[in-house]
Amino acid sequence: MKNILVGYDGSLTAQRAFLFALELARCSGGHVRVVSVLQITGGGADTAALMMADVGAQRLGDLMAELKQLAPDADKLIDLEMIPGNPGDVLLRQVKQYAIDHIVIGHTERGALARWLLGSVSTDVFAHTRIPVTVVP
């Protein structure tokens, strides 16, 4: 596992997923690509561009500080990007773009109605990828 992808939203399950991915990278001599998805609910590409311009650099700095607090050596083993879009779609595009060979994602248990209305990132990823996926509760 040389190229590990982890979706990160700051939740406790995402933090656990990040730490798990980091340990995999340490054990295998790999690298972790951390992607934080900025979900845009309306407005399209123009809204996404404005939001990224407004929060992009500051948010990336805050995210790196948060990750370094979880693991002080994080900056040596990861690259971090914030991307607008649907989390499942963004993660799946990353697999192709960066030759990802393992995905680690956190999973928060939601009720059936919430899953039906909002979907599940882990379900999207499982259904559309052929590489190993680890779901961390």
Say whether 25 sits in a helix, a strand or coil. helix
Q: What is residue 33's DSSP assignment?
A: E
Closest CA to 37 of 75, 76, 63: 63
Three state DSSP letters for 50-69: HHHHHHHHHHHHHHHHHHHH
Residue 113 has pLDDT above 90, yes or no: no
Q: Cα angle at 53 between 81 and 75, to 5 degrees?
A: 25
If pLDDT is split at 50, 70 and 90, which confidence band does 132 have? very high
pLDDT of 46 higher than 70? no
Cα dihedral value 125, 31, 136, 100, nearest 10: 10
Signed CA dihedral, 91, 20, 27, 69: sign only? positive
Nearest to 27 by CA among 97, 99, 102: 102
Delimit the domains of the chain by residue range.
Answer: 3-136
* Best CA proximity match to 102, nearest among 132, 78, 79: 132
- pLDDT band at residue 137, thresholds of 50, 70 and 90? confident
Superfamily of structural domain 3-136:
HUPs (3.40.50.620)
Residue 116 has a pLDDT of: 43
